[in-house]
Amino acid sequence: MGKNVSERSIDPATRAMLLEADRAGIETAWDRFDKQQPQCGFGILGVCCRNCNMGPCRIDPFGEGADRGVCGATADIIVARNLLRMIAAGAAAHSDHARDAVLAFKKMAEGEAEGYQIKDGAKMNALAAEYGISPEGRSPEEVALELANVLLSEFGKQEGPITFTRRAPAKRQSVWEKAGIDPRGVDREIVECMHRTHIGVDNDPVHLLLHGLRTSISDGWGGSMIATDVQDVLFGTPTPVMSESNLGVLKSDEVNIIVHGHEPILSEMIVAAAEDPEMVALAIEMGAKGISVSGICCTGNEVLMRHGIPTAGNFLQQELAVITGAVEAMVVDVQCIMPALGNLAGCYHTKFISTSPKADFPGTLRMEYHEEKALETAREIVRAAVENYPNRDPGRVNIPREKSGCMVGFSAEAILGALGGTPQPLVDAIVSGSIKGVGAVVGCNNPKVQHDFGHVNLVRELIRNDVLVVTTGCNAIACAKAGLLLPEAAKEAGPGLRPICEALGVPPVLHMGSCVDISRILVLAAALANHLGVDISDLPAAGAAPEWMSEKAVSIGAYVIASGVYTVLGTVPPVLGSPEVTSVLTKGVEGVVGASFAVEPDPFKAAKLMIAKIEEKREGLGLSA
């Protein structure tokens, strides 16, 4: 097989399992990636169009062949349209997840969702207040029902603004209004993306890109934010908690259940069902010492943040978890779940259980989840896993030893709480220069680059330079595995940041949650900006997605720059075939929203770019370098 394992990942547990895969003759995403080489040059540049059946059309990047499609679309138009469709898909994924969270919340309010309850009533009342709903003289369930209904109506809101966008500083809101990108409901924006990219509709790259920004804002400050907040009400707002990370969290003598995907709606119930004494007794009857639940990707992040459930790894480790031979059930919902898992699970005793009515895969056991009987379904799933334990072949079990401790659970509320309820101490530290600024590092893994290399090195460079890092998604998991989420990691921070972390007993890298929880970062940024009376684009902050791959990441990147935060991408988006789109995204858009993208695969150079931007913003605020 192609590359040697150390070129594929910096993570020792991942390397060990890649060697094991090789020994067992099993293919992983890395091998399939190698088989895809060379990847299509038109696709890489974004100049292939399949939007109508006169095509497919492609533009010759060398300027010798076709310079437009059958309809006359140029490379600029095709690239912009393709990018808009990526944003639409990403925003749809986040926001459809949000819709399901609200629907579960509504069923709970109606007393039809056994096992769910209002865990954070204070947060619910605060949300209700944003919508002008008064809790006066009403039961929490009545408030919940009214709130659920107004939240549901946000998705299809035909006229703007959507309520949570009013959380942004007033200056940011007027930037959006002036540019004509203050969004309406996310459903409407996504439909308009599809309409505009149909043959013969919107054919101006800048006009298309502006709608892309508008759509992404309806995700970040709409769909994603709704998902985060409703999940906090239903399952609790995270507070700091200790846990563990990496494949070493799997247990050699317990039933291992992995929850993978993105929604906490079912995984919360699985966590509860796995603690049920009846289930634990059954596990013991089957010869196991107990039941161990761990997570992968963002479903994992959700239960990690709220319950300290260990994370077994990030996106590229999903297959490796099965290859340990120690997983009784891989339970999935939606998003970032490789269809390859079906075949793979078939080579082991692992049950690959799919639960979402929306997401089926080859080779799965379907155990569809519905709110009305979520706890019951969760119990059935846990039982299936436990009863599968005797099928485990001890001779094939190979759990890497590596795991690292981590401190997680830094919701915006928890961070502000730790600071005494106001951003002032953080502002003071930034003003004095002890903390230079804030870096938000997020996003996926991608076999195009060495697994975790960009994540870990970029974050290390930032904290070494006194930049406080906030993280979500698969970056957070990479940081956890590297020990960067431990308070002890303060030792790796610069002379300004280190004593602050040590005094507060927190790591220099704060895990804020799953990908939809990037909305927490927006809320924190808004709190800082509002406190200072400036716009988000004035803050000494920068973002990065060193190893991104998903369409969701494209929507995220777009709303982060639309919110005013400069963002460095570590893998190249499919836009280079259009000089105009490339130039708008890396330069022109700055004049519209006060931030732009950069592409820099080298994490050390990416850190330099982010730090330079932070210095520039400090200067703008009249702060010392």
Q: Name beta bridge partners: 468.
A: 438
Q: For residue 469, which of 458, 478, 477 has the smallest C-alpha distance?
A: 458
Q: Is 559 in the site for ligand CUV (CB under 6 A)?
A: no
Site for ligand CUV in 284-303 (CB under 6 A): 297-298
Rule CB under 6 A: choose which of 199, 241, 384, 418 binds ligand SF4.
199
Rule CB under 6 A: choose which of 12, 55, 61, 433 binds ligand SF4.
55
Q: Which helix (H) or strand (E) holds 471?
A: strand 467-472
Rule CB under 6 A: choose which of 10, 375, 386, 474 binds ligand CUV.
474
Give me the residue label for tokens 């908690």: 241
Site string for ligand CUV, 261-280 (x = CB under 6 A): -x------------------
In this structure, which amino acid lies at residue 189? E
Give me the residue label for tokens 């590297």: 482
40 is in an annotated binding site: yes
Rule CB under 6 A: choose which of 51, 246, 356, 514 binds ligand CUV.
514
The count of chain residues that interact with ligand SF4, using the rule CB under 6 A, is 14
* Beta strand pairing call for 57-58 and 48-49: antiparallel
* Residue 345's binding partner out of ligand SF4, ligand CUV, none, with CB under 5 to 8 Å set by partner kind: none
Sorted by sequence, the CB contacts under 8 Å of residue 388 that are 6+ apart come out as 255, 328, 329, 349, 350, 351
Helix (H, G, I), strand (E, B) or coil at 398: coil
Q: Which is nearer to ligand CUV, 335 or 377 (CB)?
A: 335
Rule CB under 6 A: choose which of 404, 550, 563, 582 binds ligand CUV.
550
Q: Name beta bridge partners: 259.
A: 295, 331
Q: Is 427 in the site for ligand SF4 (CB under 6 A)?
A: no
Residue 310 has what DSSP assignment?
P
Rule CB under 6 A: choose which of 515, 541, 544, 611 binds ligand CUV.
515
Helix (H, G, I), strand (E, B) or coil at 243: strand
Q: For residue 264, which of 223, 220, 309, 222 has the smallest C-alpha distance?
A: 309
Q: Is 56 in the site for ligand SF4 (CB under 6 A)?
A: yes
Distance CA 298, CA 334 (A): 10
Q: Is 49 in the site for ligand SF4 (CB under 6 A)?
A: yes
Ramachandran bin of 172, using left for φ above 0, alpha for ψ from -120 to 50, beta for the remaining angles = alpha
Q: Which is nearer to ligand SF4, 50 or 166 (CB)?
A: 50
Q: Is 313 in the site for ligand CUV (CB under 6 A)?
A: no
Sorted by sequence, the CB contacts under 8 Å of residue 35 that are 6+ apart come out as none
501 is in an annotated binding site: no
Q: For residue 550, which of 101, 50, 87, 197 has the smallest C-alpha distance?
A: 87
CB of 547 to ligand CUV, least distance (A): 9
Q: Which is nearer to ligand CUV, 444 or 527 (CB)?
A: 444
Q: Which stretch binds ligand CUV (CB under 6 A): 227-235, 409-417, 419-427, 550-558?
A: 550-558
444 is in an annotated binding site: yes
Q: Which is nearer to ligand CUV, 186 or 279 (CB)?
A: 186
- Which segments within 483-569 are labelled E, that is strand? 509-513, 541-545, 567-569
CB of 387 to ligand SF4, least distance (A): 51
Distance CA 544, CA 459 (A): 10
Q: Is 71 in the site for ligand SF4 (CB under 6 A)?
A: yes
455 is in an annotated binding site: no
- Environment class of residue 441 by beta-carbon count within 10 Å: exposed (0-12), middle (13-18) or buried (19+)? buried
406 is in an annotated binding site: no
Question: How many Cβ atoms are within 10 Å of 117's Cβ, its own excluded?
Answer: 14
Residues flagged as binding site for [Ni-4Fe-4S] cluster = 262, 298, 336, 444, 474, 515
Q: Which residues are annotated as a binding site?
A: 40, 48-49, 52, 57, 71, 262, 298, 336, 444, 474, 515
Give the binding site for ligand CUV (CB under 6 A).
262, 297-298, 314-315, 336, 443-444, 473-474, 514-515, 550, 552-553
Binding site for ligand SF4 (CB under 6 A): 49-52, 54-57, 69-71, 73, 78, 199
